[in-house]
Amino acid sequence: MQQTAKRQLSVRLSVFIAAVFLLIGGAADAEGPPPPTVEYVVARGDTLWAIAADRVPPGEDIRRLIADIRESSGIQSSVIYPGQVLLIPKG
């Protein structure tokens, strides 16, 4: 009888701990709405660096904006092509 009570307590405690981890993990992974973006059509001779340089606020790291443009636009590399539409995060 004592062994059964300990086993039930152990199972309940394990389930409780697992639920807490799932709740914490779910809250950490939750994302809000995507940031607003502006469409930019790539022109001949454009580079991600030049596009970002025209839009990066003073004192901010241009590499962060380049990464945000790539993520928003769903591109894996820094290679862009004329006519390609990029999504540039506002502000």
CATH number at residue 52: 3.10.350.10
- 49 within 8 A of 7, measured Cβ to Cβ: no
Do 84 and 53 lie in one domain? The reply is yes
Distance (Å) of CA 70 to CA 14, 41, 54, 89: 41, 14, 16, 10
Q: pTM of the entire structure?
A: 0.63
In which domain, by residue range, is 53 found?
37-89
Counting every residue, how long is the chain? 91
Rounded-to-integer distance, Cα 41 and Cα 36, Å: 17
Per-residue confidence in pLDDT tens, the chain, 91 aa: 566 666 665 656 555 565 545 555 555 555 777 779 999 999 999 999 999 999 999 999 999 999 999 999 999 999 999 999 999 998 6
Handedness of CA 53, 54, 56, 58 (dihedral sign): positive
Do 21 and 54 lie in one domain? The reply is no
